[in-house]
Structure 1
Amino acid sequence: MTPPCQRCGYAHSLYGSTSAIGRFSSLAPLYRADYDGSPLRATRAQAHADMCDHYATKENPS
């Protein structure tokens, strides 16, 4: 089981909170955190940080 994040308190994993966009194209994929309006990022780690920010700022009501 993934322990809760020390910053936001949510138990999110690196792969469970982001999506790859364009993964099957000939170009490098972009990544997005799994919430509406999240920005496209060059790396999965950047999208993961966006997801953590989303939870830490209480934009997510859970």
Structure 2
Amino acid sequence: MGIVLFILGIFITYWVVQAALLSALNDHYKTRVHFELTGEWKPCHWNNKTVPKRANQ
């Protein structure tokens, strides 16, 4: 029974980490695309990074 719970825990941990990474990447690319289209930098409330430099400047 212990091995089943261990394997189940590994799968649940993998699923949670994958969901978190996909969510973070999705938010990052939404912000990047918005910046490239409008020039407006809108970081999230927890992200105080400066405006990125454009490649063509």
Normalised by the size of structure 2, how large is the TM-score?
0.28
More helix per residue: 1 or 2?
2
Higher gyration radius (CA):
2
Normalised by the size of structure 1, how large is the TM-score?
0.26
Q: Which fold has the larger relative contact order, with Cα–Cα distance below 8 Å and residues 6 or more apart in sequence? A: 1
